[in-house]
């Protein structure tokens, strides 16, 4: 482990398999799953998984993206998903960047923000923010979205937001 390097254990599952399991169309034992240790990279935006993990999980390649590396080199990588990611008792569904086979999995900012986890360099761990020990707290701050307009949205039925065709 490098100096100041933070690693975390993650469980990665094929999101489509998990959905089929909830619909009782796939037994739980058939959900494609990988448990691995990943490096927490606060300079990265997304999660990066090695191609062999993506293949083992049976994730579908969705599109391509241009990725800027730490040395400012730009490369094209595939995005794949859906991926269900679990750290401790927190879960999220996301897509992932596909790295070369055998590369080290990386957890980026989207995972940390979505799961409301903070890195602790002294302990070399990630932990829930003290303000949200049980569930992630997600911010919905925007110049265009005021709390009174959000409250109005929550009070209206979904059909009120659908376009009439």
* Torsion on CA atoms 118, 64, 10, 42, rounded to nearest 10: -20
Give the separation between CA 70 and CA 91, rounded to whole angstroms. Answer: 28
- Residue of 142 and 58 predicted with greater confidence: 58
104: pLDDT strictly greater than 50? yes
Give the separation between CA 129 and CA 131, rounded to whole angstroms. Answer: 5
Class of domain 7-135: mainly beta
**Among candidates 139, 80, 143, 142, which has minimal Cα distance to 113?**
139
Q: Are 79 and 47 in contact (CB under 8 A)?
A: no
pLDDT digits (tens, 9 = 90+) for 60-101: 999 999 999 889 999 999 999 999 999 999 999 999 999 999
Please give the mean pLDDT across all residues of the chain: 88
- Residue of 141 and 19 predicted with greater confidence: 19
141: pLDDT strictly greater than 70? no
Distances (CA, A) of 135 to 19, 29, 125, 157: 22, 27, 18, 25
3: pLDDT strictly greater than 60? no
Rounded to two decimals, the pTM is 0.81
Out of 23-27, 144-148, 160-164, the most confident range is 23-27
Give the separation between CA 80 and CA 132, rounded to whole angstroms. Answer: 30
The residue with tokens 């991926």 is: 83
Can you give the pLDDT at residue 145? 54
What is the domain partition of the chain in residue ranges? 7-135
164: pLDDT strictly greater than 50? no
């Amino acid at each position: 482990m490098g100096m100041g390097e933070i690693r975390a254990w993650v469980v990665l599952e094929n999101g489509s398999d998990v959905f089929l399991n909830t619909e009782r169309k796939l037994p739980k034992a058939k959900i494609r799953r990988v448990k691995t240790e990943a490096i927490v990279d606060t300079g990265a935006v997304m999660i990066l998984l090695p191609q062999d993990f993506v293949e083992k999980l049976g994730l579908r390649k969705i599109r391509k993206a241009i990725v800027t590396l730490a040395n400012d080199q730009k490369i094209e990588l595939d995005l794949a998903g859906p991926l269900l990611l679990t750290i401790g008792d927190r879960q999220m569904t996301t897509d992932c960047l596909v790295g070369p086979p055998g590369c080290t999995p990386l957890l980026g900012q989207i995972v940390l923000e979505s799961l409301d986890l903070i890195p602790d360099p002294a302990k070399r761990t990630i932990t829930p923010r003290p303000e949200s020990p049980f569930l992630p707290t997600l911010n919905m701050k925007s110049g265009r979205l005021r709390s009174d307009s959000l409250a109005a949205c929550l009070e209206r039925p979904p059909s009120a937001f659908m376009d009439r065709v």
